[in-house]
Amino acid sequence: MYPKLIEIGPVTLYSYGMCIALGAIMGFLYMARQGHKQFGTSFDRSNSLFLWLVLSGVVGGKVFLFFENPSHYLNGPAELFSGSGFVFFGSLLLCIPTMLLFFRHYHIPVRGMLDIMAIVTLIVHGFGRVGCFLAGCCYGIPTDSILGVTFTSESCQARPLGVPLHPTQLYEASFLFVLLGILWFFSPIKKFDGQIFLLYLMSYAAGRSVLEIFQIG
């Protein structure tokens, strides 16, 4: 689709990175507001947590991206450091211990704050999947259905070009935003701290297992 939004000389603005940035800003605003409202967390503390999570997410996402195709990135290491790709599970696996250590260090209620972070994760991840669609990564298997999307740009990652593929990126984005709405609605009436986070983990695992049937990229 449109993996690169703007190119000015050596500077390239990737659509994936832009979507992640938009999601991160919205997620941060939600986190800062709810953290202050529920636990009295200061803006500076929320900002520190946000920066640590960005760093953890980038490192984890890039490390897992490298191990998905080591030979490819060893031949072109510069591509690994572009804004065009991450692996969500890599980001999540490093962000979770980072959050836990941060909460423990600053004596922030862990389970209650994890409920907030579940919503934040859905916001960022949902926007990220829209970015995946624009970049052409995380694409689906060929299909004859009316839902099929044909990628034609050589700069996108989807293959094969010119063949209708399941837009699994949009399937997942839709699932994430629906789940976001449901958990957002239930957050004020949850039965115990940590419930929203547990519902997020179970729901995403179930949804992801279904999406994997249609995804190859």
Residue-level pLDDT at 205: 95
> Does some domain include residue 96?
yes
116 assigned to some structural domain = yes
Nearest to 99 by CA among 80, 114, 87: 114
> Which pLDDT does position 84 carry in this prediction?
54
Q: Is residue 129 part of a domain?
A: yes
Q: What beta strand segments (E) does the chain contain? A: 4-8, 11-14, 149-150, 164-165
**Residue 217, domain member (yes or no):** no
Q: Report pTM.
A: 0.89
pLDDT digits (tens, 9 = 90+) for 125-175: 999 999 999 988 889 999 999 999 998 888 777 888 899 999 999 999 999
User: Can you list the residues of the chain whose pLDDT is less than 50?
Assistant: none
* pLDDT at res. 192: 97
Instruction: Give the residue among 194, 196, 167 at the shortest CA–CA distance from 109.
Output: 194
> Which pLDDT belongs to residue 65?
77
User: One-letter amino acid identity for 152?
Assistant: T
Res 102: pLDDT: 97
Quote the pLDDT of residue 88: 81
Q: Burial-class residue 93 by CB neighbours within 10 Å (0-12, 13-18, 19+).
A: middle
Which pLDDT score is estimated for 79? 65
- Record the tokens describing residue 150, joined without a space: 């044909």
CA distances from 21 to 53, 90, 171 (A): 13, 18, 21
Residue 148 lies in domain: 4-211
Structural domain contains residue 216: no
Residue-level pLDDT at 72: 63
When divided into structural domains, the chain yields a total of: 1
Q: What is the reported pLDDT for 138? A: 87
CB-CB contact of 157 with 134 (8 Å):
no
pLDDT score, position 23: 96
